[in-house]
Amino acid sequence: MKHQAPFCTASPFARRPRHAYMRRMSIRPWRDIARRSSRQIMVGKVPVGGNAPITVQTMTNTLTSDAGATIDQIRRCEEAGADIVRVSCPDEASTAAMPAIVRAAQVPIVADIHFHYKRALEAADAGAACLRINPGNIGSSERVAEVVRAAKANGCAIRIGVNAGSLEKDLLEKYGEPCPEALVESALDHIKLLQDHDFHEFKVAVKASDVFLAVAAYMQLAEAVDCPLHLGITEAGALIGGTVKSSIGMGNLLWAGIGDTIRVSLSAEPEEEVRVGYEILKSLGLRTRGVRIVSCPSCARQGFDVIRTVEKLETALGHIKTPMSVSVLGCVVNGPGEARETDIGITGGGNGKHMVYLSGVTDHHVENADMIAHIVSLVEAKAAEIEAGRAVSMDVTHGKAA
């Protein structure tokens, strides 16, 4: 059956989809994003879908059979803010390492399964919180039924992963090439396989490396199903190029209210995928974690080296998990205006003396030599006040926080 896209050629900003939404009203309505209503499932202890926060996940690139290396990488991903981590399970040695990995992890572990249905059974028994499968390449209906029974017995969710690069031959013959209709039809066929076995704890992805194809497919799927959607622009590329593609594609969908969990697929370390994922969500006010830095591109007017200052601050403030904002502007053209919107602000001045703003108000000056350490101490102090309930971030005050 060919599924008609209701609006895939239109921008989500020009025309909203027809499905039901959960509306989040803010003090600035023009910032509101009305999220698509979806069923909620549990991936371990992490809710996905419904009114739960949009989760950020990544995937390890170590050999899963090397439990020590995999656990170390998962630790770094957790520190970066990952809500869920996926590991590959291509062989028995990998699933044999899963119990140790699951015990050590602080976040739910998803087992990535292709072709070998027994790996799914082993991973479920080993404590995986979710199985990433393509029901169509697991094998017969009986094998799918076995995987479903194992998932039910162990409280596992399932992610159906459809990818433009591995569509079924019959769909490629039917449509001639990967297209939104083909991806959606594949997803609906796989959903039916699970539903036929009375399994409903699933989420779905329809990924493509082509931004237009992925966005159109997700928009169609959002109309057709009520399950949570896992967003991603697959094989997006290296850190910079992949970040741009992922931000355009997933940002487009998230702004339209579509998406319940995301993975940024980069040819980079998984910690970088997590950081980029959070930056995408932070820019849309959908999740807030750590310091949001507002900084200028620098120019000849700058009173200090903005580029190097921001680089050092990003590293020095990496340990701050409290949502808050810092503005770093090189001169007084836009500096005071940006500082009024942030928790801590600094604006470049003459003779190496720069104005510091606290909660949007001018407060004191700081000199070049002391600037980095001073800003870090101010951020740490404000974060402690916010955590203790003695202060509120300016992002909350100005409606820029989730």
Domain interval for residue 148: 21-283
At 259-302, the pLDDT tens digits run 999 999 999 999 999 999 999 999 999 998 999 999 999 899 99
Over residues 110-134, the mean pLDDT reads: 94
Percentage of the chain with pLDDT > 90? 84
In a domain, 107, yes or no: yes
- 234 plus 342 within the same structural domain: no
Say if residue 122's pLDDT is above 80: yes
Distance CA 231, CA 287 (A): 15
Over residues 298-314, the mean pLDDT reads: 94
Model pLDDT, residue 12? 39
- 125 plus 28 within the same structural domain: yes
Distance CA 289, CA 222 (A): 27
- 272 plus 296 within the same structural domain: no
Say if residue 4's pLDDT is above 80: no
Q: Return the higher-pLDDT residue of 188 and 26.
A: 188
In a domain, 137, yes or no: yes
In a domain, 4, yes or no: no
Over residues 53-61, the mean pLDDT reads: 98
Dihedral, CA atoms, 21, 24, 28, 32, nearest 10 degrees? Answer: -40
Task: Select from 230, 249, 283 the last residue of a domain.
Answer: 283
From the list 340, 326, 339, 338, the residue with the least C-alpha distance to 383 is: 326
Model pLDDT, residue 195? 94
Whole-model pTM: value is 0.89
- 278 plus 361 within the same structural domain: no
In a domain, 161, yes or no: yes
- 245 plus 345 within the same structural domain: no
Dihedral, CA atoms, 25, 31, 32, 38, nearest 10 degrees? Answer: -140
Distance CA 189, CA 183 (A): 10
At 191-239, the pLDDT tens digits run 999 999 999 999 999 999 999 999 999 999 999 999 999 999 999 999 9
In a domain, 2, yes or no: no
Amino acid at 309: T
In a domain, 240, yes or no: yes
**Mean of all residue pLDDT scores within the chain:** 92
In a domain, 7, yes or no: no
- 300 plus 274 within the same structural domain: no
Task: Select from 242, 257, 283 the last residue of a domain.
Answer: 283
Model pLDDT, residue 13? 37
In a domain, 95, yes or no: yes
**Residue 29 region by backbone torsions, left for phi larger than 0, else alpha for psi between -120 and 50, else beta:** alpha
Spatial contact of 126 and 109, defined as CB atoms under 8 Å apart = no
